[in-house]
Structure 1
């Protein structure tokens, strides 16, 4: 397919949405993005797997990275897209093809080869496999194999933030707590030891947990320790001898990943905890000059990012990073997902002004 990156940003968003790109099936969209960026003068375009990276080389004193993922969660009978009442509905509209559309349209319409027209060199990163386990994340792969492609003084993740600036992100870890017992016929339950019943005390401990709130750079991060899955049972007439409870801890970015693991093990003392997923958070990073300048240009008051995003990967590399995008995070992954067309227009206007210097503090 041919992508017209100069089309109005709402129309471009719709084109991106109507190319299905569930995690693992991003190739068609990545091909289209690569071809469209390759037709733009002043850009060096490179590809790794289904991640596409384009960069200017103007020799400017600073570089801004605009990054967004191409993949979506599984389609929920919400494609093709439709426009209704000033809203674009469809899978990936909010998370995060509207943000990607803004970035791509800027690539096609900014004066990339005009001396003095831009305040910063710019890198565009459109990557794959964000909506699945961290080991497959395309940005993680780029950081490992092409570290220099990610270089910048500030990274802006086009995550859905309802047009607000969301700083840093929470860390996340998951553990599985396995509970054992003894099988028996349910008609003679006293002969067994019910593993599912043993989960009751664990769940009560989690329900009584008092989560803390932490304020960093004026942004308040709330933690949470929650059971998110219970697996167990053999048959309708069998006392189960095994039960597994998956517990998720969302932790503030002042905790290191190891400290988060130690905290969970302390709270769940007496239970064996198998760590199955662990990603550190990202501090707000608002003191960094490029981040402060972006915040000032937007006129927004930064707030904490609830949830984990790839700003954490940039933070690990020492690159300040913020979340900013037109979508509503509360609509991400829902069947009724949509984005306000006016919000996409506003996001493009703001980023264009920041990158060209038309918007300053």
Structure 2
């Protein structure tokens, strides 16, 4: 970028800090479990309209979508570049979230993942709404979609971004997601498959019926076998990770458990490795379920599997084009932070475009730690660097 644009970004990022902190503080108090982001969505949409955005909507998936185009552009014909950050947090709270500031840090559940990145995206959009020259530069050759999306976390299963691409996939040429921490720049998607396995058997009294199959024991045996036999890499050499996340069930300490549930996932960056893991998982569950049905008198005895969510990995994306996009992003990160970007793969909203062959980066724009805990924090001084990175990508 030329020196004039660089100075515009630096000056605005410095001047916008108090406004960004105030916005972050407001957003961070609003509860937003995956699938229940409506209150945050309403605030974000209202804020954008107050800042001058004319084309703002909340879609059926609770995504807030702000369409930016230069004056005179033909609607619905130009390609789109998406800049997104997710609104949801991992916590189920429905009451106001606690926020405190201490020692230059802001503490709140979900403050870094992803509320601070969302605040940065909104403040960058504010410059485009206020500065006609900046908007013209950012929309040269394409329109922008500024998206505060839903359902990135956990069992949200990327529903917000899926809905976005169901609507706009044919027009989107690049996708940027702001998530996680500086200096991350992710262009390889970690795919995952998540399942729930239910064990059913007759159960009975812990003393008088001792020896009957126990649903908890059956699932414990299943977990042990999966950990002992599940491949740790695919035939292509790509690593596979597994996790037994929850196991619950039973009636009382003196009852043989007749029902129990296990939640299990596996992950890999390779579609082939995921397919092989799925085949192994299905085979183990089928064999053990059949054995349980023969060993127990209950007509419904056995194991039942349901799919909780599937996040796709990287698909057939043009690696040269993706490489150019990532190199440009990494250059901006270096210029702003002086640090070498971290390209480690991750599971983010960018999984969806990457699986569809659309170049995408997930970029961290804050510094902090302890994500997915109630002690999560961000360094408020890092907001300036993050805003410079976002604007650099918009105006490059």
Q: Is there any run of 5+ residues in structure 2 with no aligned partner, and where?
A: 1-15, 290-303, 335-339
Question: What is the alpha-carbon distance in structure 2 between the residues aligned to residue 247 and residue 301 of structure 1?
Answer: 32
Question: What is the alpha-carbon distance in structure 1 between the residues aligned to residue 198 and residue 137 of structure 2?
Answer: 60
User: Which string of whole-angstrom CA distances, capped at 9 and with x for unpartnered residues, describes residues 220-275 of structure 1?
Assistant: 97421222222332322222334433321122233376554224224556234614
Q: 1:16 aligns with which of 21, 27, 52?
A: 27
User: Which string of whole-angstrom CA distances, capped at 9 and with x for unpartnered residues, describes residues 67-104 of structure 1?
Assistant: 11222223499834221111111122111111111111
1:124 aligns with 146
1:244 aligns with 261
Question: What is the alpha-carbon distance in structure 2 between the residues aligned to residue 78 and residue 227 of structure 1?
Answer: 31
- How far does residue 6 in structure 1 lie from its aligned partner after superposition? 8.4
1:233 aligns with 250
Q: 2:386 aligns with which of 330, 347, 350?
A: 347
Q: 1:293 aligns with which of 306, 311, 328?
A: 328
Question: What is the alpha-carbon distance in structure 2 between the residues aligned to residue 192 and residue 200 of structure 1?
Answer: 15
Q: 2:344 aligns with which of 295, 304, 309?
A: 304
1:98 aligns with 2:116: yes
1:56 aligns with 68
- Secondary structure at the counterpart of residue 169 of structure 1: coil
For 1:124-273, what aligned pairs fall within 5 Å after superposition? 124-131=146-153, 133-134=155-156, 137-144=159-166, 146-147=167-168, 151-190=171-210, 192-209=212-229, 212=232, 222-255=239-272, 258-266=275-283, 268=285, 270-272=287-289
Q: Go from structure 1 to structure 2 and tell me whether the alpha carbon gap of 1:199 and 1:222 turns closer, same or farther (over 3 Å shift).
A: same
2:11 aligns with none
Higher deviation after alignment, 112-121 or 64-73 = 112-121
User: Which string of whole-angstrom CA distances, capped at 9 and with x for unpartnered residues, describes residues 4-40 of structure 1?
Assistant: x885323321222133334454333322322222244
- How far does residue 124 in structure 1 lie from its aligned partner after superposition? 0.5
Q: Go from structure 1 to structure 2 and tell me whether the alpha carbon gap of 1:162 and 1:255 turns closer, same or farther (over 3 Å shift).
A: farther
- How far does residue 329 in structure 1 lie from its aligned partner after superposition? 8.2
2:87 aligns with 70
CA contact (8 A) 1:153 1:290 kept: no
- How far does residue 157 in structure 1 lie from its aligned partner after superposition? 1.1
Q: Go from structure 1 to structure 2 and tell me whether the alpha carbon gap of 1:200 and 1:38 turns closer, same or farther (over 3 Å shift).
A: closer
CA contact (8 A) 1:94 1:326 kept: no
2:293 aligns with none
The alignment covers a number of residue pairs equal to 346
- How far does residue 56 in structure 1 lie from its aligned partner after superposition? 2.1
CA contact (8 A) 1:94 1:338 kept: yes
Q: Go from structure 1 to structure 2 and tell me whether the alpha carbon gap of 1:78 and 1:352 turns closer, same or farther (over 3 Å shift).
A: same
Q: Go from structure 1 to structure 2 and tell me whether the alpha carbon gap of 1:78 and 1:40 turns closer, same or farther (over 3 Å shift).
A: closer
- How far does residue 349 in structure 1 lie from its aligned partner after superposition? 1.2
Q: 2:49 aligns with which of 34, 38, 52?
A: 38
TM-score, normalising length from structure 2? 0.74
Q: 1:113 aligns with which of 99, 109, 132?
A: 132
Higher deviation after alignment, 9-18 or 197-206 = 197-206
- How far does residue 138 in structure 1 lie from its aligned partner after superposition? 2.5
Q: Go from structure 1 to structure 2 and tell me whether the alpha carbon gap of 1:6 and 1:122 turns closer, same or farther (over 3 Å shift).
A: farther
TM-score, normalising length from structure 1? 0.80
User: Which string of whole-angstrom CA distances, capped at 9 and with x for unpartnered residues, describes residues 130-189 of structure 1?
Assistant: 336347823323333x326x8433211111134311233222212333445443322234
Structure 1 vs Structure 2 CA RMSD? 3.5
Higher deviation after alignment, 176-185 or 151-160 = 176-185
Question: What is the alpha-carbon distance in structure 1 between the residues aligned to residue 224 and residue 359 of structure 2?
Answer: 39
Question: What is the alpha-carbon distance in structure 1 between the residues aligned to residue 231 and residue 395 of structure 2?
Answer: 43
- Secondary structure at the counterpart of residue 204 of structure 1: helix
Q: 2:354 aligns with which of 303, 308, 315?
A: 315
- How far does residue 311 in structure 1 lie from its aligned partner after superposition? 1.1
Question: What is the alpha-carbon distance in structure 2 between the residues aligned to residue 292 and residue 236 of structure 1?
Answer: 58
- How far does residue 105 in structure 1 lie from its aligned partner after superposition? 0.5
Q: Go from structure 1 to structure 2 and tell me whether the alpha carbon gap of 1:84 and 1:356 turns closer, same or farther (over 3 Å shift).
A: same
